[in-house]
Amino acid sequence: GAGVSQTPSNKVTEKGKYVELRCDPISGHTALYWYRQSLGQGPEFLIYFQGTGAADDSGLPNDRFFAVRPEGSVSTLKIQRTERGDSAVYLCASSPLLVLGAYEQYFGPGTRLTVT
Amino acid sequence: GENVEQHPSTLSVQEGDSAVIKCTYSDSASNYFPWYKQELGKRPQLIIDIRSNVGEKKDQRIAVTLNKTAKHFSLHITETQPEDSAVYFCAAASPPGNTGKLIFGQGTTLQVKP
């Protein structure tokens, strides 16, 4: 079946602009995660959705970052007033309904964000 | 919060040899430990995982072991092949709340020389 998809694959924006990154999870997966991966580093957790609600947003670096998942499927990560330090690959992952102790997450291809 | 340390950062082996990558974690309540393989410019791919109630799991040429007492887990790849060359990341699911939030190690670049 179709995997996690993300659009756009690449985004170049100027410092101070607003960007939106989209994630389409695997059909039926209720859990959705956003991570950020800088060059040479492991993914860093940003936010987790169970259904429509953000159950854990402890990884969002500041209030310029916001994410929504209004219908419990597609999610959008929104970044206001972008800064050069926001440049990274933004990864989305989805997981089926959680069984305690089983959190298999399947990643999308990522959106490479470059802030100039 | 949870912290995951991974080593070595780079590993070079001859084709056919075994490779071992080790990770330690800090939070004894962590209960799920996946391993991901990431090729250059590609998405992380889940290759194997282990839950805290299991000590070892094997899938063909790869295996993972978990020592809860020592808070470390390892990835073992036997009979390595050039296509195993990639960056490997370990991770731990960080409580509380059983959200499945993953904390990743820094990655190991594995090079398998033909």
Q: What is the pLDDT of residue B45?
A: 97
A87 versus B100: the higher-pLDDT residue is: A87
Task: Report chain B residues whose CB lies below 8 A from the CB of A44.
Answer: 104
pLDDT classification of A83: cutoffs 50, 70, 90: very high
- Comparing alpha-carbon positions, the chain B residue that sits nearest to A103 is B100
Among B56, B61, B36, CA closest to B48: B36
Q: What is the pLDDT of residue A1?
A: 59
- Comparing alpha-carbon positions, the chain B residue that sits nearest to A95 is B100
Among A113, A102, A109, CA closest to A29: A102
**Res. B17: pLDDT tops 70:** yes
Give the rounded percent of residues in chain B with a pLDDT score beyond 90.
82
B19 versus A53: the higher-pLDDT residue is: B19
User: Which amino acid, residue B29?
Assistant: A
Inter-chain Cβ pairs, chain A and chain B, closer than 8 A: 70
DSSP state of B9: S
Contact call for residues A34 and A77 (beta carbons, < 8 A): yes
Q: What is the pLDDT of residue A51?
A: 85
Residue for token digits 């390892």? B74
Chain A: closest CA distance from residue B18 (Å): 23
Give the number of C-alpha atoms closer than 13 A to the C-alpha of residue B75, restricted to the C-beta side: 29
**Res. B32: pLDDT tops 70:** yes
